[in-house]
Amino acid sequence: MKKEDMVKLISADGFEFVIDEKAAMVSQTIRNMLTSPGSFTETQQRQVTFPDISTTILEKICQYFYWSLQYASGKETEFHIEPELTLELMMAANYLHT
Amino acid sequence: MGGACSRKRDQQVDEDNIHRGFSGRYCKSGSSKWLGSSFSRSLSDVKQGIGKSPSLMELCTYKICEAIHNYGSFSMLPRDVSQQIFDELVYSQRLNDVILQAFRDCALQDLNLGEYPGFNDSWMDMIASQGSSLLSVDFSGSDVTDAGLSHLKDCTGLQALNFNYCDKISDNGMAHISGLSNMTTLSFRRNNMITAQGMSALSGLVNLVKLDLERCPKIHGGLVHLKGLTKLESLNINCCNCITDTDMKPLQGLANLKALQISSSKVTDHGVNFLKALHKLELLNMEGCPVTAACLESLSALGALLYLNLSRCNLADDGCDKFSRLQALKVLNLGFNEISDAILVYLKGLTNLESLNLDSCSIRDEGLVNLAGLSRLKCLELSDTEVGSSGLRHLSGLGNLESLNLSFTVVTDGGLRKLSGLSCLRSLNLDVRQITDTGLAALTSLTGLTHLDLFGARITDSGTNYLKCFRNLRSLEICGGGLTDAGVKNIKDLTSLALLNLSQNSHLTDKSLEAISGLTQLVSLNVSNSRVTSAGLQHLKPLKNLKSLTLESCKVTANDLKKLQATHLPNLVNFRPE
């Protein structure tokens, strides 16, 4: 996998997730950040910081991105969500248009 | 985070089928005709199919709704998040008066609770707690009373309010909404209590664009309060039989009115006279009004008129010459009038016409020559006329025709080849007893057909061979009695079929059910008056989309069908015998 195909997502507490750009693009918000014309730091450095999303939630979101790609290719499994995470996850999903 | 990126609000639903003059939304009637509208989601679920995963928002929403009792309040959530949870609870009918409390002060915008079970005055307090955020509320079909309505007084942001079929709201309740001047859409169909006095509250709703009072029998004299509502674009007072000519007078100043529906009222030619100044009027529905052709004098002043419904009026040939002035018309319904084909010469120049309905008029072959030049015609209704085969030649050049109804006419097999070039045709009604296999053979070039009605035609097994040409058929009716199991085999590859009616073919047996067991798109199936038995029902198990199944006068009991529904056909909502 070439480095250009990866993006870095950084949680509020500084934890870094390096994932496929294709997976990250599942989020409309991240897609806009990475593809918007001009020289946003996000576009240039291929990384996005989320000061309002905790590590636990961001990890779950990355899992969702990959699950979503699998689903789209025909592997329709269930995506498990821990009850205690649901509300926080939903707010993040709302922000990420996911 | 989150709060700022508010999504586009869902379009308000109530865009009813204005051109046909009825609404499918009210479902207390329980007619199977509206199966489609009340179960739209399960269909779209199916359609979605492979490829698109549910969004994380959706997954979280489902998760929360499943465990809704664990949540005390959603007021700390961004509005669009709580709105989504609310909508899902309403959709899945999990919302009740206890759960409702979690949504207090959530600044929700849209509360679509039409027909919601259990909705009553005690819910109105929570609705009011959304305060000025509230943009639209629908509690049609509920038991809300005047007292309940009073809670909305302070929801000053309200733009749309629907309390159709709320028979406990009266003039007193109307007073509570008179100050909601941001209102653009108001609907209270079939209210038996509201009178002219209650209507006075409307005079304060100066931003009103759309007002729907269909089937309100006591509003006579009340339209005078609409005088100042100059932004009004749409007024529906269909089936208000109290409405008379004097009620038309206050409408004459509503210069922005684009759609006016006054069907089944007492309005006469004199009343129509008051509408002359409505220069923006595009749609006028006067079905069933006691107007004559003399009203065309007034209507010819309406240069913007596109849709005109004059069916079931008192038209006669005399005076119909003025139709020629209605040059902009796209849709004209003249069905069920005492008019003859002599008037068609006055329609000859209406070259914008896309739809013409002459149902049950005295139309004979010669007159149809005047329609030959109406090249934009998409829909032509000639049911129950005297049109025969020699008239069809005048239609053969109407290349844009998509829908043609020739049921109960005198057309014969010999004339049908004149239709063979109508390649845009999607819907053809040939419910005509004298049509046989020979006629069907002449139509095989019409491969785009999606709806074919041969209800009373004398189609036999050999005729069904021609059906193979119509691979796009979504509905098919053949009920002439001539089919056996061998003929039904020719239907089995029409896999797009959603509606299939093979009733009255008394020779059909369980083998026919076996033959159609692969038509998994079927939503409605009728094989009444046949030799089908309960043993044959096993073949219907794969028809998971089936919502309506009719097997009257067969060897099938209601119990058999109930069992089938419970174990294999969960979507089945209508079945006979029951």
Strand bridging mode A6-10 / A16-20: antiparallel
- Classify residue B539 as left (phi > 0), alpha (psi -120 to 50) or beta: alpha
Are B491 and B515 in contact, with CB atoms under 8 Å apart?
A: yes
How many contacts, defined by CB atoms under 8 Å, are there between A and B?
62
pLDDT computed for residue A45 by the predictor: 78
- DSSP state letters, B51-99: S-PPPHHHHHHHHHHHTGGG----TTS-HHHHHHHHHHHHHTT---TTG
Of A52, A72, A86, the CB nearest to B60: A86
b/e B463-491 (16+ beta carbons within 10 angstroms → b): bbebbebbeebbbbbbbbebbbbebbbbb
Predicted local distance difference test score (pLDDT) of residue B298: 96
Q: Which of A53, A79, A96 sits opposite B59 (nearest CB)?
A: A79
Chain B contact for A64 (CB, 8 A cutoff)? yes
Query: What integer best gives the mean pLDDT of chain B?
Result: 91
Q: Is the pLDDT of residue B14 over 60?
A: no
Residue A36 near chain B (CB below 8 Å): no
Mean pLDDT, residues B10-33: 37
pLDDT surpasses 90 at B198: yes
**Reported confidence tier of residue A3, pLDDT bands at 50, 70, 90:** low
User: pLDDT band at residue B569, thresholds of 50, 70 and 90?
Assistant: very high
C-beta atoms of B1 and A95 within 8 A: yes
Above 70 in pLDDT, residue A69? yes
Q: What is the mean pLDDT of residues A42-71?
A: 92
Domain ranges in chain A are: 3-96
pLDDT tens string B147-166: 999 999 999 999 999 999 99
Give the SS3 label for residue A96: helix
Place of tokens 């209590």: B193
Could you read off the pLDDT of B414-455 as tens digits, one per residue? 999 999 999 999 999 999 999 999 999 999 999 999 999 999
Q: What is the pLDDT of residue B221?
A: 97
Does the beta-carbon distance from B2 to A74 stay under 8 Å? no
Q: Are the beta carbons of B278 and B233 closer than 8 angstroms?
A: no
Q: In the structure, what pLDDT confidence band is assigned to residue B406 with cuts at 50, 70 and 90?
A: very high
Work out the average pLDDT over B66-88.
Answer: 93
Host H or E run for residue B145: none
Q: Hey, what are B331's tokens?
A: 């849709």
Angstrom distances, CA of residue B203 to CA of B154, B188, B546: 18, 16, 49
Give the whole-number percent of chain B exceeding pLDDT 90: 90
Q: How far apart are CA B145 and CA B380, in angstroms?
A: 46
pLDDT of residue A4: 67
Instruction: Please state which CATH class domain B458-577 belongs to.
Output: alpha beta
Q: Which residues of A touch B60 (CB under 8 A)?
A: 81, 86-87, 89-90, 93
> Mean of the pLDDT values across residues B108-126?
95
Burial, B362: exposed, middle or buried (Cβ in 10 Å; 0-12, 13-18, 19+)? Answer: middle
Residues B343-351: what's their mean pLDDT? Answer: 97
CA angle B533, B536, B541 (to 5 degrees): 135
- Nearest Cα residue in chain A from B68: A83
Token match 């239609």: residue?
A: B395
Query: B439 with B413: CB under 8 angstroms?
Result: yes
Q: Is residue A18 within 8 angstroms of chain B, CB to CB?
A: no
Pairwise CA distance, residues B395 & B223, whole Å = 44
Q: Do residues B301 and B275 make contact, with C-beta atoms less than 8 angstroms apart?
A: no
The lowest-confidence range among A24-38, B289-303, B367-381, B545-559 is A24-38
Cα gap B428→B465, rounded to integer Å? 18
Over residues B122-142, the mean pLDDT reads: 95
With b for 16 or more beta-carbon neighbours within 10 A and e for fewer, the B134-143 pattern comes to bbbbbbbbbe
Cα B296 vs. chain centroid, distance in angstroms?
Answer: 28
- The Cβ of residue A21 has, within 10 Å, a number of other Cβ atoms equal to 16
Decide if pLDDT at B40 tops 50: no
Domain ranges of chain B: 458-577
Q: Is residue B237 scored above 70 in pLDDT? A: yes
| ipTM at complex level | 0.94
B65 touches A: beta carbon within 8 Å: no
pLDDT at B33 over 60: no
Residue of B53, B64, B78 lying closest to A72 (CB–CB) = B53
**What's the confidence (pLDDT) of residue B59?**
96
| Percent of chain B surpassing pLDDT 70 | 91
Question: What number is the average pLDDT over the span B127-147?
Answer: 96
- Phi, psi for residue B219 in degrees, rounded to 5: -90, 5
Euclidean distance between CA atoms B539 and B543, whole angstroms? 9
Q: Which candidate in A68, A84, A87 is best for mutational testing of the B interface (most B CBs within 10 A)?
A: A87
Q: Report yes or no: B64 at the A interface, CB cutoff 8 Å.
A: yes
CA distance B450 to B35: 19
Question: CB of B50 within 8 Å of any CB in chain A?
Answer: yes
Task: Look at residues A87, A96, A48, A91 and name the one whose alpha carbon lies nearest to residue A68.
Answer: A96
Beta bridge partners of B404: B380, B428
Q: Let me know: does B207 contact B231? Beta carbons within 8 Å.
A: yes
* Positive or negative torsion for Cα B558, B553, B464, B395: negative
Q: Which residue of B has its CA nearest to A60?
A: B56
Task: Name which of B46, B56, B83 to mutate to probe chain A: the one with the most chain A Cβ atoms within 10 A of its Cβ.
Answer: B56
User: In 3-state terms, what secondary structure has residue B313?
Assistant: coil
Q: List phi, psi (to 5°) of A6.
A: -110, 150
Write out pLDDT tens, residues B467-484. 999 999 999 999 999 999
Q: How wide is the angle at C-alpha B503 spanned by C-alphas B497 and B506, nearest 5°? A: 130
Q: How far apart are CA B92 and CA B238, in angstroms?
A: 33
Other CB atoms within 10 Å distance of the CB of residue B49? 7
B290 prior amide bond cis, ω within 30: no
| Residues 70-89, chain A, touching B (beta carbon < 8 A) | 71-72, 74, 76, 79, 81, 83, 86-87, 89
The structure tokens 């319904």 sit at B333
Residue with structure tokens 């509503």?
Answer: B254
Count of CB atoms situated within 10 Å of the CB of A73: 11
Q: Where are the alpha helices (DSSP H) in B192-302?
A: 196-199, 245-248, 269-272, 296-299
Q: Which residues contact A30 (CB under 8 A, 6 or more apart)?
A: A7, A9, A24, A48, A96
Q: Which residue has the higher pLDDT, B241 or A41?
A: B241
pLDDT category at B50 given cuts 50, 70, 90 is low
A81 Cα to chain B: minimum distance (Å): 8
> Is the pLDDT confidence value at B578 over 90?
no
Cβ–Cβ of B59/A81 closer than 8 Å? Answer: yes
- Using one digit for the tens of pLDDT, what is the confidence trace for B483-536? 999 999 999 999 999 999 999 999 999 999 999 999 999 999 999 999 999 999
Element (H, E) at B439: helix B437-441
* A71/B2 touch (CB, cutoff 8 Å), yes or no: no
Q: Which of B50, B53, B60 sits opposite A90 (nearest CB)?
A: B60
Contact with chain A for residue B98, Cβ under 8 A: no
Residue B263 has a CB neighbour count (10 Å cut-off) of 24
The helix (H) or strand (E) run that includes residue B131 is none
Residue in the block written with tokens 């684009």:
B258
- Whether A76 sits inside 8 A of B56 (CB atoms) is no
* Total residue length of chain B: 578
Q: Which CATH class is domain A3-96?
A: alpha beta
Enter the tokens of residue B205.
Answer: 């709703």
Q: Which of B537, B440, B530 is nearest to B481 (CA)?
A: B530
Residue B372 has pLDDT above 60, yes or no: yes
Q: What is the pLDDT of residue A39?
A: 58
Answer whether residue B41 shows pLDDT above 50. no
Give the chain A residue nearest B85 (alpha carbons).
Answer: A90
